Amino acid sequence: MGKGLFITGTDTDVGETYVTALLVKTLRKAGFDVGYYKAAISGAPTVAESDAGFVNRFAGINEPEDMILSYLYQNAVSPHLAARIEGNPVEKEVILKAWERVTKAYPYVTMEGSGGIMCPIRHDEKAVYYLEDIIQWLHLPVLVVANAGLGTINHVVTTCEYIKNRHIPVKGILLNHWKGGIMEEDNVKMIEEITGVKVLAKIRDGDSLLDIDAEEIISLYE
């Protein structure tokens, strides 16, 4: 069985998918056989047009659709609501079996979340699942993706503290839409000081690879 690492964002539009794709592509280019998996996506007509399809192509994984994604919903709302509208709610056993399959195929698997850490995945009379539940089922450590700009200190700190309070290890922070300058450099300093978690990468718009130590990142998979 392979090792895993979970990627979550501080919000829906921080570029979590793009950063995940960059991370997987960078590690694969460095010679590590890294796979990808996402449990549920809403707001996409097909897998190819979804976040999972983008990562599959961009990172050069090129796996069958059923290897990279378990649940696809058409409605552009949270997965729990999309499932309520469309049917086919997320089942724990489906996720566990899919994870077993992908971790048998790859020594390292990057799992992408859906929005922020508190995203409801299923909420009905039979079961209630949040994103954090999936992380705990699979015993995964987490990387947090956030915007680099104004307001990110609060978003990152509250996200990290929530994750830590659920006894889930936070392994690092990736700051997206990096422009540099005194404010963003101070954001890095304050985030690291308050959370005790290292900012591992500063990603500029248009980057085609991450400026990271691949060996350091691959050591975070568990």
Q: Which residues are part of the catalytic machinery?
A: 38
Residue 97 CA to residue 137 CA, distance in Å, equals 12
CB 192 within 8 A of CB 218: no
Q: 104: exposed, middle or buried (C-beta count within 10 Å: 0-12, 13-18, 19+)?
A: exposed
CA atoms within 13 A on the CB side of 94: 13
Give which of 126, 178, 118 is closest to 152, Cα–Cα: 178
CB 56 within 8 A of CB 36: yes
Residue ranges of E strands in the chain: 3-9, 34-42, 69-73, 108-116, 120-123, 128-130, 142-147, 170-176, 199-202
102 — alpha (psi -120 to 50), left (phi > 0) or beta? Answer: alpha
For residue 163, CA distances in Å to 3, 55, 78, 84 come to 20, 25, 20, 27
Q: What angle do CA 150, 153, 156 make, to 5 degrees?
A: 120
